Chains A and B, each alone.
Chain A
Amino acid sequence: MEEVEVVLVTGRTIKQGMGVGQGKQSDLYLQETAAAEFNAETLACLQVDEGDEVLITTEFGQDVFKARKGDLPPQIAFLPYGARANTLTGAVTEGSGMPAFKGLKARVRRCQE
């Protein structure tokens, strides 16, 4: 099964923000923060359709996300801010206080049926 190397970028989405307002237990928040966006080319490489589950792994952790198509350059994966995305980020700040929430290397593959 194809495994693709990507660069992870986490960020705000309008649905994630609305989910914060509705509550961190709301379906909107939980669904939005469980999504991962890829461009069409990357989805094809992974042999997944929108809604399929993918496993994303970094040196800090791994988690399962629902794939969706986004307007992204190839080899970039976008994850809405949230606890799930932060299973993949590391806590080393290199003396700045700021962890690397954007620009992390990761590997993605389709989850087994």
Chain B
Amino acid sequence: MTVVCRDVVCPFCGSLCDDLEVTLENGAISQVKNGCALARSKFDHLGDIPSPRVAGQKVALADALKEGGRILGSARHPLIYGLASTTCEAQRAAVALAEKLGASIDSTSSVCHGPSTLAKQMVGIPTCTLAEVKNRADLVVFWGCNPAEAHPRHMNRYSLRPEGQFVTRGREGRTMVAVDVRRTATMRQADYSLLVPPNGDLEVLTVLRALINQKPVNAREVHGIALEELEQLVQIMQKASYGVLFFGMGLTMSRGSHYNVRQALRLVQDLNEHTRFTIIPMRGHGNVAGSEHVLTWHTGYPFAVNFSRRYPRYGLGEFTAVDLLRRREVDAALVVAADPGATFPREASRVLQEIPTVVIDPHWNQTAELARVFIPTAPAGIAASGTMYRMDLVPLPLRKIIDYPWPEDRELLESLAEEVSACSPSEAVASMTL
């Protein structure tokens, strides 16, 4: 039987494109229309369904959950990490489990846009939705991000080429600026580009702010960039009717980190003295933005939260996953919908092999190679329904379109919590979170 599912949301990246058309033949995906190369690779490769494993051996799901519950329940300071590629409903279950365990809980935010959130907490953020960008923005600045490769439909659907209510000529009606350390596929499409040396963003942003605010700049160049070039960029930004600055890891992962983002946020605030300007972080994983929302609803903090005193505490550098692992301050880990085995510095990820680690993921990944327990799950947004937040913080409902042999993340996390209770029934405490 052939079934065509329309308006399917792709859960891969923070763009959450919601116009995919997926054809099912006898319950299996046979064709994906409208998706980018990343979406097609995700939807086309759901066939390799892994099995639950403990110490490398295939086991029944119930046994994997039992061992996972035993590990987490007997740990003194477990870490729950990941949550970027799962639903808000599963993230909520992860927070409940963290509280029950007295664990630290951190999301992939801490190694992507965590510094952006810290900067937002410092100075605020003048932001907007992608619909507003589509309808109004006549200037689009991409700084330290490469949507052509990381968010392949972003420029077509939201930012550069769509015809909007007040930008009726699509690409012709918009000016595009790209700032990066290398000539990316995105930069090659720009009307104006600026190459900044690695770790040079803070100084360049600072001088741009000085020029906008008509402060004296006693230099003819900044990191090899002539002052005239920066004056030209300031003119472009001030002349815009509605500008938007999208930024990525180029700012958060370089020296200066949250100070780079703080300066970008202040730059946009300064520009609002001259014209309308907004800023949006290019969130990488499908629901990493949602993870910050869910943790904030429940604990008051967006990531790096610790429950060891039975009430939530927030500590960047203290309760962030890389730091906890590097300092060997956790004695067990639960990784959900993330792959720190591939994405963390080796110095931190190798600790996941030294301590008992439980992985919940739809796919066998590099963290699973290090883990004691692997629990397979239904891919969120494809074989499990739920809510995800787009990079502009618009929540979208995702539908289950195929059946899968394994339960979804939320259900598995709730089962793990039950196993933990079975291991240590006297540990039940009243919830302190909202």
- How many angstroms from the CA of A81 to the CA of B198 in the assembled complex? 17
- Chain A nearest CB from B35 CB (Å) reads 10
Task: Select from chain B the residue with minimum beta-carbon distance to A101.
Answer: B253
Check B45 for interface membership: any CB of A closer than 8 A: yes
Would A78 and B182 count as touching, CB distance under 8 A? Answer: yes
- How many angstroms from the CA of A94 to the CA of B258 in the assembled complex? 11
**Could you show 16 A-B contacts with beta carbons less than 8 Å apart?**
A12-B146, A14-B152, A18-B41, A24-B339, A24-B365, A60-B346, A71-B182, A76-B181, A81-B342, A86-B349, A90-B345, A91-B347, A93-B322, A97-B111, A97-B304, A102-B198
Would A72 and B183 count as touching, CB distance under 8 A? Answer: yes
- How many angstroms from the CA of A33 to the CA of B13 in the assembled complex? 19
- How many angstroms from the CA of A9 to the CA of B349 in the assembled complex? 20
Cβ proximity bits A84-106 to B, threshold 8 Å, 1 near / 0 not: 00110111111111111111000
Q: What residues of chain B lie closer than 8 Å to A19, measured between beta carbons?
A: 41
B interface size (C-beta, 8 A): 63
Known: A97-B323, A99-B322, A99-B345. A83 touches B363 (CB 8 A): no
Q: What residues of chain B lie closer than 8 Å to A97, measured between beta carbons?
A: 106, 110-111, 114-115, 303-304, 316-317, 320-323
- How many angstroms from the CA of A51 to the CA of B42 in the assembled complex? 28
List of 4 A-B pairs having minimum Cβ-Cβ separation, nearest first:
A97-B320, A21-B41, A95-B317, A21-B42
- How many angstroms from the CA of A81 to the CA of B40 in the assembled complex? 20
Known: A23-B363, A86-B345. A12 touches B182 (CB 8 A): no
Q: What residues of chain B lie closer than 8 Å to A100, measured between beta carbons?
A: 253-255
Known: A93-B320, A94-B317. A9 touches B150 (CB 8 A): no
Task: Select from chain B the residue with minimum beta-carbon distance to A37.
Answer: B182
A interface size (C-beta, 8 A): 46
- How many angstroms from the CA of A79 to the CA of B96 in the assembled complex? 38
Would A21 and B182 count as touching, CB distance under 8 A? Answer: no
Task: Select from chain B the residue with minimum beta-carbon distance to A80.
Answer: B149
Task: Select from chain A the residue with minimum beta-carbon distance to B200.
Answer: A103
- Chain B nearest CB from A39 CB (Å) reads 9
Would A76 and B182 count as touching, CB distance under 8 A? Answer: yes
Interface residues of B in 166-184 (CB under 8 A from A): 181-183
Check B195 for interface membership: any CB of A closer than 8 A: yes
Check B233 for interface membership: any CB of A closer than 8 A: no
- Chain B nearest CB from A78 CB (Å) reads 6
Would A96 and B181 count as touching, CB distance under 8 A? Answer: no
Given contacts A96-B316, A103-B253, list 11 more A-B pairs with CB under 8 A: A9-B198, A23-B365, A24-B363, A73-B197, A96-B258, A98-B110, A98-B252, A99-B348, A100-B254, A103-B254, A103-B255
Would B38 and A81 count as touching, CB distance under 8 A? Answer: no
Interface residues of B in 8-50 (CB under 8 A from A): 12-13, 37-42, 44-45, 48
Check B199 for interface membership: any CB of A closer than 8 A: yes
Cβ proximity bits A10-45 to B, threshold 8 Å, 1 near / 0 not: 111110011111111110000001000000000000
Q: What residues of chain A lie closer than 8 Å to B198, measured between beta carbons?
A: 7, 9, 76, 102-103
Q: What residues of chain A lie closer than 8 Å to B258, measured between beta carbons?
A: 96, 98
Would A87 and B181 count as touching, CB distance under 8 A? Answer: no
Task: Select from chain B the residue with minimum beta-carbon distance to A28.
Answer: B41
- How many angstroms from the CA of A22 to the CA of B432 in the assembled complex? 41
- How many angstroms from the CA of A10 to the CA of B146 in the assembled complex? 12
Would B182 and A70 count as touching, CB distance under 8 A? Answer: yes
Task: Select from chain A the residue with minimum beta-carbon distance to B149.
Answer: A14
Would A86 and B111 count as touching, CB distance under 8 A? Answer: no
Check B298 for interface membership: any CB of A closer than 8 A: no
Q: What residues of chain B lie closer than 8 Å to A26, measured between beta carbons?
A: 45
Check B125 for interface membership: any CB of A closer than 8 A: no
- How many angstroms from the CA of A96 to the CA of B119 in the assembled complex? 11
Would A73 and B181 count as touching, CB distance under 8 A? Answer: yes
- Chain B nearest CB from A16 CB (Å) reads 8
Check B250 for interface membership: any CB of A closer than 8 A: yes
Task: Select from chain B the residue with minimum beta-carbon distance to A82.
Answer: B342
- How many angstroms from the CA of A82 to the CA of B342 in the assembled complex? 5
- How many angstroms from the CA of A110 to the CA of B55 in the assembled complex? 39
Interface residues of B in 86-138 (CB under 8 A from A): 106, 110-111, 114-115, 118
- Chain B nearest CB from A26 CB (Å) reads 8
Would B364 and A23 count as touching, CB distance under 8 A? Answer: yes
Q: What residues of chain A lie closer than 8 Å to B197, measured between beta carbons?
A: 7, 73
Task: Select from chain A the residue with minimum beta-carbon distance to B182.
Answer: A72
Q: What residues of chain A lie closer than 8 Å to B249, measured between beta carbons?
A: 11, 101-102
Task: Select from chain A the residue with minimum beta-carbon distance to B148.
Answer: A14
Check B78 for interface membership: any CB of A closer than 8 A: no
Task: Select from chain B the residue with minimum beta-carbon distance to A96.
Answer: B257
- Chain B nearest CB from A2 CB (Å) reads 22
Task: Select from chain A the residue with minimum beta-carbon distance to B43.
Answer: A21
